Structure formats: C-alpha cells, structure tokens
Amino acid sequence: MKISQNIGYLPLRSEMMTDPAVLGSWAAQNPLLAPNVAQPATREPGVSPGNDYLQIRDGMMDAVESVVFQGKDPQATLSAARAEGATLLPAS
C-alpha cells in the first residue's frame, strides 16, 4: 500500500483500488488513477520488430550508457547505434 501511495506504482490486483480497507479511500481521492487501473484490461501484447529486437535495444542502451558514463559524443554515438540497428530490422 505504501508503495502505491508514495510513488504511484499501481498494485497488480485492481480490486485493491476499490477495497476501502486497502487502497479504496486513497484511490477515491485520486481520480486520475482510474485510467491507469483500467488500461491493462484493454492492452494487447506488443509485437517486436523482428527477431533481432533485443540486439537493437541493447545496442541503443549501450550507446546511451557510453554517452552518459564515458562522455562520448551524443550525436555520433547515437547515430551509429541507429544505423547499426537499422541493419537488423526486417525488410518491409
């Protein structure tokens, strides 16, 4: 309960948001939570962009880390990662 109330992380069981003994009172005082609680019921599984999605993601994350932690040039580093990732995308 404290995690939801203090940082906004929603509980995995939505009935906690309606139970007054759990988070119901807090949820009633915060009506902007309702769309976030309702959204998982209408979500569809995401489809990855090809078989190399994880390699593309990891390449982008490595590029960001090298910019942030190693001081590499952002434009050149991210452009290179984008070009590398583009070679792994499936042909449309």
Q: Where are the domains of the chain?
A: 2-42, 53-88
Alpha carbon distance 76, 63 (integer Å): 10
pLDDT at 7: 81
Those residues whose C-beta lies under 8 Å from the C-beta of residue 1, and which sit 6 or more positions away, are 16, 22, 23, 26
Does residue 14 register a pLDDT over 90?
Answer: no
- For residues 15-32, give the mean pLDDT: 89
CA geometry: angle 78, 90, 85, nearest 5 deg: 15
pTM: 0.51
pLDDT at 2: 77
Does residue 49 register a pLDDT over 80?
Answer: no
- State the chain's mean pLDDT as an integer: 88
Does residue 15 register a pLDDT over 80?
Answer: yes
